[in-house]
Amino acid sequence: MSESKPKDSFSVSRRFFLKSFGASAAVAATAQVEAVAAELEKVNAEKVHGPGTVPVTLQVNGKPLKLDLEPRVTLLEALRNHSNLTGAKEVCDRGTCGACTVLLDDKPIYSCSKLAIDSQGAKITTVEGLAKDGKLSPIQQAFIDQDALMCGFCTPGFIMSVTALLKQNPRPTADQIKHACSGNLCRCGTYPRVLQAALKAAGAPIANNKTEVISYAKLA
C-alpha cells in the first residue's frame, strides 16, 4: 500500500562487517576488529532514519513483518494500513480508548501512540496471535461464553488488556481487573460482562446469570 521510496541511508550490520573479514582474519587482529565493529554499531545505532520511507521490521505474533515506512507511521497504521492485521482498531488515534491495544513484550500499549519504527526489536502480539492452531485462548472463550461483546469493535483491545493482566497477575480481584481495563472504552455497554469474562478466565467464581424472568401472566 505504501509507495516505494529510495532508501535514505545504508546501514552496515555488525555481523556483516565481521563476516567481510572472512575466516582468515588473524586472531591477533580480532580485538581491533571488534573495537571497530563496536564503533560501527554505535554509529549505526545513531543512524538517522527518514524522513522518507525506511525498512522497518516488526516482530508480530512470532513472525517478522517487513515494511517500508516513514518514521511518522504509527504501529497501529503499520498493522492496519500496511498489512492485513486489522484486529487492532482505530477509534480515537489519541490514546484515550484502548481499541488499538496490542502487547509489546507482553505489556499492553496504545499502538496508535507508538511509532512503528520505535517498535522494532520488541515482541508484538495482536489479537490475531492469541489463538493457537485454531484453538481460542481461555480469555477469548470466556468473552464468548459471557457475551462480553456486542458490536465487537472494542473487543480486541479488551482481550489484549485482560490477556496481559492475567499473564502478570493470574488471580486478580475485580478491582484489579477494573483498574487494568480502565484504558479500554466500550460504547455498547459490555462492561459488566467483560468483568465476568475476566473473572471467569482467571478461575474466579462469578455469580450465575442473575437475570430473572417473570411470567407476566402469572403476576398478580
Partner 1 sequence: MPSWPEKREYIGSHAKRIDAPAKVTGAAKYPSDVQPEGWLYGMIYRSKWPKAKIVKIDLEKAKAVPGIKAAVFAPRFDQPDQTSRYYGEELAAIAGTTKQACLDALRLIQVEVKEMPFVVREEDAKEDTSPRVWDDQPNLSKPRLKENGDVDKAFSECDAVVEGFYTTPVQLHHPLETHGNTVSAGGDEITIWPSTQHVVGARNDLAGHLNVPQSKVHAICEFMGGGFGSKFGLGAEGGIAARLSQAAKAPVKLMLTRFDEALAVGNRPSSFQKIKLGAKSDGKLHAFELDSYGTAGYGSGGASGGGSASPDFPAPYIYKVPNTRVKQSTVVVNAGVARAFRAPGHPTASFGMESIMDELAVKMNIDPVELRIKNDPSEVRRKEYTVGAERFGWKEKYKKPGSSVGPVKTGIGCAGATWGGGGRGTKAEALVNPDGSFEIRCCTQDLGTGSKTVIALIAADLLGLKPEQITVKVGDTRYPPSGGSGGSTTTASVAPAIYDVCTKALAELQKQSGVEDARGANWAGACKKLGITPLTVNGQWQEGLSSSGAGGVQFAEVEVDTETGFTKVKKIVCVQDGGLIVSKLTCESQVNGGILMGIGYALYEERVMDKTSGVVLNPNFETYKLLGLSDAPEIDIVLLDMPERGVIGIGEPVTIPTAAAVANAVANALGVRVNSLPITPQRVLDAVGKLKNIVPAAAA
Partner 2 sequence: MNSFSYVTATSPASAHELVGADGRYLAGGMDLLSEMKEYIAQPKVLVNIKSLPALNKIQPGDKSWTIGANVTIADLEDHAELKKVLPGIQQAASEVGSRQIRNFGTVGGNLAQHSRCWYYRHRDIHCLKKGGDMCYARHGDNRFHSLFTGNTCISPIVSNLAIAFGALDASVIVLKGGKEQKMTIDELYHEAWRNPEAHNSLEPGDLILRVEVPVQRTKSAYLQMSERSDFDWAIVSCAAAATVNGNKLNQARVVLGAVSNIPYQVEAANTFLEGKSLDEATTSKAADLLLEKAHVQPFNGYKIPITRALIHRTLMKLVA
Which residue, 24 or 211, has its beta carbon nearer to partner 1? 211
Question: Are 162 and 202 within 8 A, CB to CB?
Answer: no
Near partner 1 by CB under 8 A: residue from 153, 176, 204, 206:
153
Residues 21-60 that bind partner 2 (CB under 8 A): 42, 45-51
Question: What character string, x for contact with partner 2 (CB under 8 A) and - otherwise, covers 135-154?
Answer: --------------------
DSSP 66: E
Is residue 128 part of the contact set for partner 1 (CB under 8 A)? yes
**Which residues make Cβ contacts (< 8 Å) with residue 111, sequence separation at least 6?**
74, 75, 76, 79, 88, 100, 101, 102
Near partner 1 by CB under 8 A: residue from 8, 18, 65, 191:
191
Q: Which stretch binds partner 2 (CB under 8 A): 13-21, 78-86, 96-104, 207-215?
A: 96-104
How many CB atoms are located within 10 Å of the residue 55 CB?
Answer: 14
Question: Are 202 and 195 within 8 A, CB to CB?
Answer: no
CA dist., res. 131 & res. 137, Å (int):
5
Contact positions vs partner 2 (CB under 8 A): 8, 42, 45-51, 70-72, 74, 93-95, 98, 101, 104, 107-110, 113-115, 117-118, 161, 164-165, 178-184
